[in-house]
Chain A
Amino acid sequence: SAVISQKPSRDICQRGTSLTIQCQVDSQVTMMFWYRQQPGQSLTLIATANQGSEATYESGFVIDKFPISRPNLTFSTLTVSNMSPEDSSIYLCSTRGLGTGELFFGEGSRLTVL
């Protein structure tokens, strides 16, 4: 298993500002994933972050809006840029268990944009 820590756990932000969410894993992992969970909705994959390469974004998500860094095998950041109220969501970092296919999740970062 993997223990994943995210911060901030929650924040209230003003429209037009940007916020960076940090994700720390307690072991080295190849792939890290960022998901968004809009209020009352299921999870949507934003992007996959591999160390040493550009993140791979899913349809509907772009690097300019959600830049991602992956400087080493235990850490990643997701920035939500130029925020609007529609960006109010829980953002979840996750990684995959070795050989098991299951995902482990951080506690999530709950953003509210006013």
Chain B
Amino acid sequence: GDSVTQMEGPVTLSEEAFLTINCTYTATGYPSLFWYVQYPGEGLQLLLKATKADDKGSNKGFEATYRKETTSFHLEKGSVQVSDSAVYFCALGGNNAGNMLTFGGGTRLMVKP
């Protein structure tokens, strides 16, 4: 079945450091890929998405490129801020209404001033 594997956290960085959170997946067909963010005490928010191979999703300075050849969707940001401290979830799912999202285990990011 479908699965998503993320790097384990926590990831601790200093402000303005470069961020990479690795995400790889296994899936049948051509899923869409998503990154969700969960700030402390809140629900999940969609951060960015990509619906086909070589698409790049971007939002709030974060980027991720859908790499079919490596089955990856790594999240990157060039300069993190303290306000980026949160848990990040990689997820995959089909575009059909009946297809559920499969989530990775989540990666906690802690950014220190």
Contacts and interface: CB of A to CB of B under 8 A. Distances in A.
A43 B105 CA distance: 8
Contacts of B97: 30-31, 96
Contacts of B93: 101, 103
Q: Is the interface of B mostly helix, strand, loop or mixed?
A: loop
Interface string B48-90: 0101000000000000000000000000000000000000010
A41 interface: yes
A104 interface: yes
Interface size class of A (residues with CB under 8 A): 20 to 34
A43 B103 contact: yes
Interface of A: 6, 30-31, 33, 41-43, 45, 48, 90, 92, 96, 99-108
Interface of B: 32, 34, 36, 42-46, 49, 51, 89, 93-95, 97, 99-101, 103-106
